[in-house]
């Protein structure tokens, strides 16, 4: 029996990480109503939620987190928690134009905070990124208490959002939590980010663009390890705290791509160096020992194991990739369900 008084308001749940969170949450908490509030931008794909779409404890509301009236109407009073995934999330797009990033990531987060406070929401979990710390030195690890030093317009907008979340806790006593996650990978990731792009290109024998020298380091975490940490932070995190979630294993882009080509059986000649990203951060590496110490969490999926299963998923879901790349995913879902 779904209890309306037990509800959780998730934003951006049709995206990559949000949809993994919702699939997990809906399965694990059959009594709780999960409301997915999503504007369905280019990054929102309802195919990601096909497995929960008709379950009684899941509800989709199409809406923009910057739209106060829409959020007011959709967020239940006294709901257990808001989990804010909604964001513009791709660094390259923020370099081309930062306006949408400021709008959604900063103004949207503030709009949610205002309404959550008035509706007396239990907890507010804000999903942030390791990129707010800026580029780390070799062997340096980003800890929760280090100063923020964002480099890209994307990271700057996520940093501003974090400040608004902490300000709401300090000023109004809201129960907020922030998580900073490293680079996620796994099923249902939109093929503009490095791994899904490289996997789909490798599957078709197409060149894989390597920005600059390819020696930049990223700390990869499987999305299921991340959402497991998010569940723990939500239930056991201390109010006002920030928790880092990472794979504890920073790798150079070129090394990652070489393993990927080995698994897919494609030649390294597919790697094609292209002009570097402007202001490209060299290294991200999050220290997640606080999350381990306080919540008993650590990543369980090794990079090679996770990469193998992710590649297998993309190989088994070639049509999902095609629809995501062609734009057909926007109408596919409606066509598929209009007959029901």
Q: Which residue out of 88, 130, 217, 281 is catalytically annotated?
A: 130
Contact region for ligand TYD (CB under 6 A) — 61-69, 172-180, 189-197, 239-247? 189-197
Binding to ligand TYD by residue 127, rule CB under 6 A? Answer: no
Site string for ligand TYD, 74-93 (x = CB under 6 A): -----------------x--
Residues 131-160 touching ligand NAD, rule: CB under 6 A, are 158
Give the nearer residue to ligand TYD in terms of CB position, either 16 or 37. 16
Binding to ligand NAD by residue 85, rule CB under 6 A? Answer: yes
How many whole angstroms separate alpha carbon 153 and alpha carbon 90?
A: 10
Is 284 tagged catalytic? no
Binding to ligand TYD by residue 193, rule CB under 6 A? Answer: yes
Binding to ligand TYD by residue 59, rule CB under 6 A? Answer: no
Contact region for ligand NAD (CB under 6 A) — 85-93, 209-217, 246-254, 325-333? 85-93
How many whole angstroms separate alpha carbon 284 and alpha carbon 182?
A: 8
- Residue appearing with tokens 């049709």: 14
Is 130 tagged catalytic? yes
Binding to ligand TYD by residue 218, rule CB under 6 A? Answer: yes
Give the nearer residue to ligand NAD in terms of CB position, either 112 or 210. 112
Give the nearer residue to ligand TYD in terms of CB position, either 216 or 291. 216
Count CB neighbours of 228 within 10 A.
19
Instruction: Name the binder of 44 from ligand NAD, ligand TYD, none, CB < 5-8 A by kind.
Output: ligand NAD
Q: Provide the annotated active-site residues.
A: 130-131, 154
Residues that bind ligand NAD (CB under 6 A): 11-12, 14-18, 38-41, 43-44, 64-66, 85-87, 89, 104, 108, 127, 129, 158, 181, 183-184, 190
């Amino acid at each position: 029996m779904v209890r309306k008084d037990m509800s959780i308001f998730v934003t951006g749940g049709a995206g990559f990480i949000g949809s993994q969170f919702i699939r997990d949450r809906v399965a694990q908490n059959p009594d709780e109503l999960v409301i997915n509030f999503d504007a369905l931008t280019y990054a929102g794909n309802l195919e990601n939620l096909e497995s929960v779409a008709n379950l009684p404890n899941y509800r989709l509301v199409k809406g923009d987190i910057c739209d106060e009236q829409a959020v007011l109407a959709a967020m239940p009073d006294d709901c257990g928690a808001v989990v804010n995934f909604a964001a513009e999330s791709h660094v390259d797009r923020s370099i081309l134009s930062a306006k949408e990033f400021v709008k959604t990531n900063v103004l949207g987060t503030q709009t949610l905070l205002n309404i959550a406070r008035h509706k007396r929401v239990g907890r507010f979990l804000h999903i942030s990124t390791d990129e707010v710390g800026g580029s780390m030195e070799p062997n340096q690890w980003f800890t929760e208490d280090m100063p923020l030093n964002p480099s890209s317009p994307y990271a700057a907008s996520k940093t501003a959002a974090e400040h608004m979340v902490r300000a709401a806790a300090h000023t109004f006593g809201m129960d907020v939590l922030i998580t900073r996650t490293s680079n996620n990978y796994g099923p249902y990731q939109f093929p503009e980010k490095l791994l899904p792009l490289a996997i789909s290109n490798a599957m078709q024998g197409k060149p894989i663009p390597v920005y600059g020298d390819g020696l930049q380091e990223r700390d990869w975490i499987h999305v299921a390890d991340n959402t497991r940490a998010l569940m723990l932070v939500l239930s056991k995190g201390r109010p006002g705290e920030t928790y880092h979630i990472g794979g504890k294993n920073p790798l150079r882009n070129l090394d990652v791509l070489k393993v990927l080509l080995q698994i897919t059986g494609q030649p390294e000649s597919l790697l094609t160096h292209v002009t570097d990203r402007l202001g490209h951060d060299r290294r991200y590496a999050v220290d997640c020992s606080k999350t381990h110490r306080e919540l008993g969490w650590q990543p369980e999926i090794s990079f090679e194991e996770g990469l193998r299963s992710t590649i297998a998923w993309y190989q088994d879901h070639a049509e999902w990739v095609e629809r995501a790349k062609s734009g057909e995913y926007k109408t596919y879902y409606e066509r598929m369900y209009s007959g029901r």
